[in-house]
Structures are given as C-alpha cells and as structure tokens.
Structure 1
Amino acid sequence: MLIRLVIAWLLGIVVADILTPSLVLMGSIAGCALLCVGLLHRQPNLRLMALLALVGSLGGLRYQTAIPPPGADHVAMLIGRGEQTMIGWVAADPRRSDDGQRLVLQVEAVRVGNEARRAQGLVQLTVAPYPAYRYGQRLLVTGTLQQPRLAERPGSFDYRAYLAHRGIFAILNQPAKLTVLEGDAGLPPLRMLLQFREHCRQLMIRMLPEPQAAIGVGILLGIQSSIPDETYTTFSVTGTSHILVVSGWNFTIVATLLAGVATRLRLGRGSSLGLALSVMWIYAFFTGASAAVLRAAVMASLAAIGRAADREREPWHLLAGGCGLLTIADPHALWDVGFQLSALATASLFAFARPIEQRLSRHRPFRWAVFAPISEAFTATMAAQVLTLPLILYQFGNLSLVAPLANILLVPIVPYAMAACTLALLAGLIWLPLGQLLGPLAWLPVAWLTEGARVLAMPAWAATQIPPFPLWIMLGYYGLILAGWRRRLSSVP
C-alpha cells in the first residue's frame, strides 16, 4: 500500500508541473469528491482508486504551493529594468571552482535612490573566485538582472526550468559592485557547521598532495568544487564519478561504524537509535544536504528506526518512504538529476542485483571465494546500470565502455579511502603535524583511485558520446524493463 501511495503522490507532482495552478486546484477538489464517493462504495478496488486519486491530487497541490509564482515585490520583476542595487544574504553554501563562485542571494530589499524598498526572492550570482564568500554573509550587490537561458532545442537541458525548481527566477553575472555588510543571517547552527567543514577542507589540503587532497575532500566532505577539471574528467570517462559524491553508500558505512560503536559501549536500543540519527543527519548537513544526500539520510534513518522497533521493512518500502518524505518536504527535488540517479540506482540494485549475482555464480571465476570482492563490485555495477544508464545517456550523452572494469578496480577501495581520510582528519583536528604524519596512510588508497581512473581513461575508446534522443525512447525503455521485471516476478513460484 505504501508503494502505491508514494507512486500516486509522485505522479501527482509530475502532472502538476504540466497543468496550470487552477487545474491542479480543480483536480484536488475532484480527488476529495472521489474519496468521499469511494468510501461509500462497497468494492475495495474502487475505494483504493479513490484514495490514490486523492493522494495524487494532494501531491499536485503540494507542488504548486512549494514555490509560488513571483509576486509584485519579487526581485524577478526587476529583470530588464537596468542596473539594480540589492541587499540580501548568502542563502546556501557557495559552489566554488577555478573560474569563479556561484552564490544564491536571498534578497531582502532593493535600493531606489537613497531609500530601501522591501523585496523578496532568490538571485543566483556568478562572481570571481576571490575573495571567498560563505553562507550567511550579508551583501550589497549592484548589477543588471537577467533571465536564465532556455533550452537550445526541445528535450535538451533547460537551465531556466532547472533554476525555477529551486525558486530562482533571476541571475546576475559578474556584479558591477559587491560589498560585504556587517552582521550575519541564516541559521547559526548551519553557519557553524559549514564553517567547520571549510576548516576540515583546509586541513585536508595541508595533509595531502593534489589531486589526492581534492578527491579525499570530495569523498569525505562532499565538496567537488576543488577537484581539478582534468581529474574529474577521468572519473566521468570511466563511469566512476559517483565515487566523488556523498551517496547512500557513505551512510551505510557511517551506520555500520555507529552500530559497532554502540555495541562496544553497550548502549541501549533507544540510545543507539538517538546516536545513529544524530550523527547521520549532522553528516548530511555537513556534506551539503543535496537532494540525493537527504534521500540517503532519510532511507538510512528509516532503516535504523525499523531495526530499533524490530519492524525492519523490505528495501522497497524504505526507498518509497525516503522518496515520499523528501518530496513532501520539497516536491521540486524530483527534478534534481542527482536525486533521480540515486533513487534509480537504489531501485536497480534492489531489482537486479540478485538475478545478476545468481547468473554470475554459475560461472568461473565468479564462484571462487577469492573473487568475492570483485564479483560483488561487478554485480553492483551491472545492476545499477540497468536503470541509471538510460538517464545518463539522455542527460549527458556519455557512454563509458570501461565502466565495468573501472568499478571493479576502484569501488572496493572507497571504504578504505574514507576510513583513512577520516583517521587523518581527526588526527589533524587534534594536532596538524599528527595529521600530516598519517597523511600517507590516506594518500595510498586515494592515489589508487586517482591513478586508476587516469590510466583507465587513457584509451581513446574508453568513452563515446551518444547523439541526443527524444524523451519517449527513454520512457519506452523503462516501460519495457518494468514489464519484464513484473513478468519475472510473476513466474517465480
């Protein structure tokens, strides 16, 4: 029942993105009417259909209320009106690269002459790499607002829609003037957490050489902005760029570690659950709290609660619960590509890992005990590709031909790299020379990742670019996969 309700909720969100707000409101009223009629009917199927219709209409209504259209005092109304002076604060952790920084400015007021007029809304700023800005800083910005660009052709990436799902309707590239004002805004706990993360990043840079330091920062802290473009390209070509982001696997490692700590300390069930939830959610916000990270944190939290209550549900219910809760909080997260890939990879592992493992176990060398780690990595790679590869090809067009081999050689090393980087970082927080002394311990597994990706990406045939294809082809593929999977399930005795 939970899975059906979540699917209805997600479909309602998708339909609401297509319809106008008035039609969504009418659909919500119709859903309530259907529920009333269904409850009075004796047939369970009709009652279920009425309930699903209501949940779908509520999903659409939640979507429409998540980011209301710009009002009269919205900063987007100033687009095309020449140079503007705005007062606001940095509302998200800046995204840095060698070329510059991207800031999300929460506008509070606009200066007109010598007076400040109230305004609201978000503006994305693109500024120079230095000086570095941080979450919560108050800024005075002068420049000309623009609309984000539209898709160049139907089916291609629509930057305007991408930002609109984040509540951003105006951008400002290279402001004419940018001044830091006194005082801070935002959530003080989040400010402190992000400042501590930046301190950890600086320590990692001082303990490891490049590009290993940047890779270690990406794996452990979730910061990819400092990874050199050349190094990031090698991971993309080899189909292992998922190593560089914080995902559900990171939370699995954290949960396993916490379970061991709780056992050692002989903590009770309630204390163990409180420790696990606290650490995992601090880690989620510590690493940036993206849609994929929050999904992984929600799923890990549901699993921990299930274990504590002796009611651990099957993985499909955890996935559905995680996606449902996350889209209740922010229905626009459904359009985040990272969230889509994370959810599809998880579903693909649930559906296809066991069948692939059973097939491989019938053949040498996969049935040999010594090949168990390789077999596990290969199985996970191939299973995840079933549902994620079409989306990757549709969004990016990059087909890695060395991805299976690269994942076999690199993915099993990630837990050791995380553990070694964590140990070196903790030592560096206590005393920097001690962290630098343990730096080589972390350098070894991270160097395996960077050099392995570089070597595997060297052949000209390592990856190929797929021409753009229409959306219906990808949806048709998923339809065929779903039909085949359901048929296989129905044939299992």
Structure 2
Amino acid sequence: MRSPIAAQLPRSATAAPAVDSRFYLAPVGGIGWLAGIWLAARLDLPVVAWLAVALPVIAGAILWWRRGRVGLALAACGAMALGGARYVASLPVLSPAIVQYYNGAQDVVILGRVMAEPERDDHRARLRIAASELVSDGRARPVAGALLVETNRYPAIPYGATVRLRGDLDAPIATGSPSYAAYLERQGLGSLMSFPAVEIVATGGGSPLYRAMLGLKARGRAAIVAALPEPHAALLTGILLGDDSGLPRDLTDDFRATGMTHIIAISGFNIAVIIGLLDLLTAPALPRRTAAVVIMILIFAYAALVGATASVVRAAIMGATYLAGLRLLGRPSLAVAGLFTAAFLMTLAGPNTLWDVGFQLSFAATLGLMLFAGPWSRRVDRGVAALFAADTRPWIAKWTTELLIVTLAAQVLTVPLLLYHFGRFSPASLPANLLALPVQPLVMFTGGLTMVAGAVWPAAGPIVAPPAWLFLDYTIGVIHLLARLPGASLPLTLSGTGLVAVYALIAAGVGLAAVARRPTVAVSLRRPTTGRILAGVVIIAVAAGLAVAWNAQRPDGRLHVAFLDVGQGDAILIQTPGGRQLLVDGGYTASDTLDQLGRHMPFWDRSIDLVIATHPDADHVAGLVEVVERYRIGGLITNGAVEANDSAYAALLAAAESRGVLVHPAQIGETVGLDEGVELRILHTAESPAAADDNEASVVARLTYGELSLLLTGDAEEAAEAGLLDSHTPLASVILKAGHHGADTSSSAAFLQAVAPQIVIISAGRENRYGHPHPAMLARAAAIGATVLRTDEYGTLEVTSDGARMWWSAEREAAPVP
C-alpha cells in the first residue's frame, strides 16, 4: 500500500524556472487576508473604513499586476483590508433581540433547539442551543443567538431536540478561564447556562440531512465499540470519527506528553490515507476523472460525518484541490496555493477559525511538509547515493524520507505554536512519530474495515477486528512506553513576541533558500513498492502477534480477582479458572472502567456473565451504564432498589431493559455458582433490617474457591456490619474489601476481628476530597495485623489463586499519598 504522505511531498530533482507573479497570488493574498482578520480584532475600525482602503488598493493591484512585486504588494494590502472588513462584519450586534443581551439574569427560562451534535464525556454533556424565546420577570420575548449549556450526561438529549431551560444566564467569563471564554465567544456562544433544569419539549427537529449523518456516525461508533475493547475502541473512534471523548485520562495525557495528539485529531494525514485508499479501490472500476469526482464527494461527506472541524475541513479542501488540479485540470495542483485557498474559504465562512488552535497546528504542519520535506528528501537522496549501493538506495531513501524527514518537516512550524499555546516541549515526539506513524495507514484500513463490516452486519465486526486491535495495541504500547521516559515532556514557554520572532527567522531562511525556485508536487498518487513482499511480511507479523496475544490472554486455570483502579469508586473483576467473568460495581468514570476491563479481559471477549450493582450510588454504578451497552451481559444483580436520586442508576436500569438483560434483586442466603469450585454467597442486601440508607443497603457477598475466601462489602457501614455480626453468618475471610472506600464509618473493630483478614484492600481515588481511607480505619486494620493494600497507592491490585495458594500483584510500585 502506498504511503499517504507521498502525495504531499515535492520530489522533483531540479528547480523549475522563475514564474510571473500569478504563481504567488494565492499565498500572498492568503497571508494578507489572514493578517487583516488578526489586525481587525485589535483595531476598532468600522467596515466602511476597511472597504475604503480595500477598493482603491485592489484597483491599483489590477492596474499594476504585471509590475511583479508592486502588484503583489498591492494585492496583499487589498486582501488584508478585505479580511479586516469580513471580521468586523461577522461581529454580533448586541440588542434586546440577542440572548447575550440578558447575560447576568437569574432564574430565566429559555426555549431553544440543540443545534449541533452534543459533546459528552464521562459525567456531563455540553449542548449548543439556538435560542428562540426567553422568559424573564414573567415576560416572554423572542430572541436569537446561541448559548452553551452544561448538563448531566443522563438522560441523553439528542441533536434537534427542543428544550426548555430554567436557570441563571451567564457570560462565558463565568467559567473562570479568560482563554476558554474567548474561545466560546469566537465559536458564537455568547452565553452560558450551567446545570439548569432541563425539559425536553420535542425531538426530531433540525436538519434531516445532518441528523442522518449523525445517525451514520452513531452506527459507526456502535460498530467499533461492539468489536473492540477499550481503550482501543476509543482510540479508533478518535482516529476515524474525530471523537476522542472516550479515551481514558492517562492515555490522553500520554498522547500529549509525546506530542502525538495529531493521530487522534483528524487532519491532513488521515485525509491523505483515505484518498490513497479510495484511489486504490476506484482505479479498476472508474475512469481517472470520474474517480476523482467520486473521491472528492466522499471526502467532503466524510468531513461532514466527523463534525467538520477546522482541521478536517482544511484537509478536505486541500485534498480536493490536489485532485482537481491533477485529475480534472490535467496538471499538478499548486500545493501551497491550495493550502491558502483552504484557509481563505474557512475564514471567509467563519473569521474566528483563525484562532482555532487545531486549525493553526494543522495549517502549520501541512505548510512545513510543503516547504521542507521536498528539499530535505532530495538532500537525503544525494547522501544515500554517495554512501550505499544502488540496490539498497531506494529502500533507504524511502524509509528515511517517510519516517524521519516527514516528521521533522511537519514539526518545524508546529513546535513554536505548541510552546506558545501549551508551554510544553516533547523530546519524545520524534521517536514516537518514527515508531507509531508507519502503522497508522494499517490502523485506518483495518479499523475502517471493522467499522464498515460491523455497521452493515453487527456479527461481522468482531470477526474482522483482531488485526485492527493488534495495530491499535502496538500504537498504545509505544505511546505508553515513551511517555514514561524521563524528560518525555518538558516545560518551555514561548511568548507572543518570541513566536513572531521565530517565524520571522524561519520565513527569512525559506526566502533566502527559495529565491527564483518554483515548488512542484508529485504527479502520481502511488509510489512503486515491493507490494507483495511487504504484504506478506505484514500478514505473517499480524498472525504471529495475534497468536501470541491469544496464548497470553486465554484462561490459565486459576481464579483472578482484580480490584480495578477506577479512581474514587469501586469495580472488581472476577475471572474464574474456566474463563467466566463477574463484575462487581463499575466505578464512577466509564472510560476508566472500560479501559481496565480492556486490560484484564481477553481482547476477543465481548461478554460478561454476571454484573452486580451493590447499591445505586454513582461511584459504583455510573460506569456500568457503558458496560451494559457495550458487552453482552448474562444478568444484572441489584440490591433491589428501583429508583435513586442519581440519574446514573436510572440510566443503568434503562440500558439493561433496552438490551434485554435480566435484572434480579439479590436475596440473602442465595448462592451463585460461578464455576466449578467457585461460589458467591449473598450475605446482606436492602431487605436486611439494618439497611437504613443506600450505603447500608449494599449487597455484601462472600466469594470462596478452595482455601481462598474474599468478603466484598460495597459501601456497607457500621449498621450493616452489626447486622451481619448479629446474624451469626460465617464472615472469616482471607481478604476483605473494606467498606465505603476505607471510611471511618466502616470496618469497625468488632467486624474486623470477626472477619480476621490477612489482607484488607481499599479502593479509593488518589487525593480524593473525602479523605478516604480514614487514618482511624487504617489503625484498626493494623491492630489486627492485616496487610493494607490501596488502589490509590498501587493502582489495580490483582489476587490470583489455584485454590490452595494465593498470589497478589500490583499495577505499579506503591506511590504514597501525601
């Protein structure tokens, strides 16, 4: 398969002759246009003033066109004035008819419609609302304008829904972050409501076409999560669909530390891969020009499907420009001209796009490739020719160009922006790109095949998913490894003045090196490679990798109990010697829980035999909603609660009902046979007289396997413990999972003496705001001689047993909590 980067690299070995000023019009005019938008944001000038400058200057540019530099200078000034006029014209005019006019009003009612795809993370949803009516002080008035609403994730509110909101209306600065407030305002969101009362009035509104596109996106996302474990599914969803909201926090941090976020932000690289793949598929069936039109249509449809972000639109326009010039006009397109054309069209539609960091980084990376990759690769070719034999030169030049030169060229212009915006420098970025970038076309190809197959026929997705899992697993492993190297990410800040100075030096260097040189681009979309050999190597490597993974992850005949590190919450995964699974609680953050399940379950296993929700608190059940929606669940055991104050438990019951999962209220004394010799006995539920509140109503269960016994107590506190002691139920266990995350109200001295555990395991979030575990509880555990193991210190803790012996292991060395 050809490299997607090749289509963007100048490869001509000789410089073309100088050309007239028409060649430079798009870049010079584009620079002027962008500069005008930036300048207008700092000058308080009306549209008329900008147009008064633009008209005579443009007339002069037309008259002096053939005077070379003079005509170009006038064209740049005219474009600058027009850019300034466009920015000023885009500014909203504040009036009583605009919702922003009422910022600061309290207890207002707003009627509006969800105008874009909702953004959801683990705990909340962000809705962009197009307001139509505002009620304040008992008076209703029609309004226009957009606002951002932050609300609970559950119940889900879809695009196009008409909602009635009641709460306080604030300006974006109320977020406490001036930079975020400026971002919202540039997005056209001049008002903010934080967790108002929300009533869904109607659904099904908005654009039918956009709603259909979101439906396809949802279908693709569902196919991915049904076929792959986490975090692989979230990473592939980010790569293919531009939605990285499901990535666990530690993996997101690792991508940032290694400077590899461009992999999960759809940009020119992704679009180039798709163009290459579509060209490969359409070449046998369609004429070249017809294929180019079909590819352009599909590229723009894909851009709309993933949300039409700045980098995606830029890349789509750039790719279409290239194809139009090469295939429709019969000549290679001028790459730099196409890039500035894309920037012009995007900022013409929305001038505030200029301040979008993703747009800036994507634009800079692509421009760096165009300016530097060609000349640098030609120098490499000359060096290779001098040092290596003729039969090895093509391979060495190809891999050096595509692994090293392309990475360096893309980073020349992006590193200053990263230092300016984020104040971090990533030395690990170069090795991360060298190791991870080559497999990304394979990730997109196999991942796209998995998504399409699963969307068409759900049973087909998991069948074709293993190769995609392997390439994703390799990518995640590389990023994790490099992010943990000393000095992977260093603090280094560049001021605004420093940014301008660095780019001025780069521009001067480029200008001196490119005097009288006309850039060229490659004409072919394909590069000759030894395709059969490479394909054979890939197939053998994939087969070997999957065989090793299968052997490592299949049942080993032992019991495994993993106390998952899900932050401030509980989640315990039990895997029997025969490979059956029981999940007790699911933590508060779904992405963390799904990530942990992906690490501890076989990559091909998309089922869990039994799930227990010990009680309705969100830190035990919020993560289970996604688990029920993504895995085939054999049954759900609850403490008998039918409703709760937290919406997460209601969402869990609704998900179980929609997926046909049997919900069974636990009964005291009942026994669940998980596997041969593995038994779980229910000791306490909400039916107990001691179940005075949600915590005391927790399901308490005792797991036994040969000589090993574990007591799992949920959030049970002293009253529930006293009830268990009064019932004279056998409690003695080798391992105790401490109740309520090690709170002082749990694990009483009498209860600990009755259980007499060798090990007490506490599941708690690092530096949590509740002070768990409490020092008094730790002292009581020490008094009976028990070893205390904590997830906030060790990460995930796993107990393994053959029924006669026991071993425990930790995810990391103990990191004492301050």
Fold shared per TM-score above 0.5: yes
* Structure 1 residue 157: Cα displacement: 6.4
CA distance in 2, matches of 1:472, 1:284: 35
- Corresponding position of 1:208: 228
Q: 1:182 aligns with which of 194, 202, 216?
A: 202
Cα deviation, 1:17-64, whole Å, max 9, x if unaligned, reads 112242x42131122134456667798365554443332222111112
Higher alpha-carbon deviation: 283-292 or 57-66: 57-66
Alignment partner, residue 304 of structure 2: 285
Q: CA deviation at 1:370?
A: 5.5
Q: CA deviation at 1:151?
A: 11
**Relative to 1, partners in 2 of residues 1:46 and 1:443: Cα closer, same or farther, differing over 3 Å?**
closer
Q: Quickly say closer, same or farther: Cα 1:350–1:42, change in 2 above 3 A.
A: closer
Name the counterpart of 2:194.
173
Q: Higher mean Cα deviation, 298-307 or 29-38?
A: 29-38
CA distance in 2, matches of 1:341, 1:134: 31
Query: Is residue 34 of structure 2 the alignment partner of residue 10 of structure 1?
Result: yes
The residue aligned with 2:325 is: 306
> Which structure is larger by alpha-carbon Rg, 1 or 2?
2
Structure 2, unaligned stretches of length 5 or more?
A: 1-24, 519-818
How has the CA–CA distance of structure 1 residues 292 and 264 changed in structure 2, closer, same or farther, with 3 Å as cutoff? Answer: same
Shift of 1:90: 1.2
User: Is the Cα–Cα contact under 8 Å of residues 416 and 494 in structure 2 kept in the other structure?
Assistant: no
**Alpha carbons 2:28, 2:72 under 8 Å: kept:** no
Corresponding residue of 1:224: 244
Q: Which amino acid aligns with 1:87?
A: L
Deviates more, 1:347-356 or 1:275-284: 347-356
CA distance in 1, matches of 2:65, 2:133: 58
Alpha-carbon distance in 1 for matches of 2:154, 2:435 = 38
Over 3 Å counting, the alpha-carbon distance change for 1:26 and 1:415 in structure 2 is same
**Residue 144 to residue 358, structure 1, CA distance change in 2 (3 Å):** same
2:717 match: none
Residues 1:248 and 2:271 aligned together: no
Q: Which residue of 2 aligns with 1:108?
A: 132
1:442 is aligned to 2:465: no
Equivalent in the alignment of 1:94:
118
Q: Which moved more, 1:354-363 or 1:89-98?
A: 354-363
* Number of equivalent positions: 486
Higher relative contact order (CA closer than 8 Å, sequence separation 6+):
1
Kept after mapping to 1: 8 A contact 2:110/2:166? yes
Partner of 2:504: 479
The answer to whether the aligner puts 1:81 opposite 2:105 as a matched pair is: yes
Equivalent residue, structure 2, for 1:454: 480
Match of 1:33 in 2: 56
Structure 1 residues 333 and 360: alpha-carbon distance in aligned structure 2, compared to 1, 3 A threshold? same
Q: Taking structure 1 as reference, are residues 38 and 421 closer, same or farther at Cα in structure 2, changes over 3 Å only? A: closer
Deviations 1:120-168 (A, max 9, x none): 111111112222233212111111111223898xxx9622221121111
SS of structure 2 residue aligned to 1:18: coil
Separation of aligned partners in 1, 2:347 and 2:199: 36
Secondary structure in 2 aligned to 1:333? helix
The match for 1:463 is: 489
Q: Which residue of 1 aligns with 2:710?
A: none
Give the direction of change, closer, same or farther, for the CA distance of 1:354–1:42 in structure 2 (3 Å limit). Answer: closer
Q: Which moved more, 1:163-172 or 1:440-449?
A: 163-172
1:229 deviates by 1.1
Out of 496, 515, 526, the residue aligned to residue 490 of structure 1 is 515
Matched, 1:297 2:323: no
More helix by share: 1
| Conserved? CA contact 2:423–2:494, under 8 Å | no
2: CA distance between counterparts of 1:469 and 1:39? 40
Q: 1:151, 1:158 within 8 Å by CA — same for their partners in 2?
A: no
| Aligned mates of 2:457, 2:250 — CA distance in 1 | 32
In 1, Cα distance between the equivalents of 2:141 and 2:408? 56
Q: TM-score, normalised by structure 2?
A: 0.57
What runs of 5+ residues in structure 1 fail to find an aligned partner?
A: none
Report the alpha carbon displacement of residue 488 of structure 1 after superposing the two structures with TM: 1.4
Higher mean Cα deviation, 404-413 or 378-387? 378-387
Q: Is the 8 A contact 2:65 2:72 kept in 1?
A: no
Task: Read off the aligned partner of 2:346 and give its amino acid letter.
Answer: L
Q: 1:225-251 CA deviation, whole Å, 9 max, x = no partner? A: 111111111111111111011111221
Structure 1 vs Structure 2: percent identity of aligned residues?
A: 30
Change (3 A) 1:40 1:440: closer
SS in 1 for 2:141: strand
- Kept in 2, the 8 Å contact 1:410–1:452? The answer is yes
Q: Structure 1 residue 357: deviation in Å?
A: 2.8
Letter paired with 1:158: S
Residues 169/356 of structure 1: CA separation in 2 closer, same or farther (3 Å cut): same
| Letter aligned with residue 446 of structure 1 | L
Quick one: structure 1 residues 462 and 42, their matched pair in 2 at CA, closer, same or farther if it must change by over 3 Å?
A: closer
Maintained 8 Å contact 1:204/1:425: yes
Alpha-carbon distance in structure 1 between the residues aligned to 2:470 and 2:98: 52
CA deviation digits over 1:442-466, x for unaligned, max 9?
1010111111111111123211122
| Distance in 2 between residues matched to 1:323 and 1:490, nearest whole Å | 24
- Residues 37, 99 of structure 1: CA spacing in aligned structure 2 closer, same or farther, 3 A cutoff? same
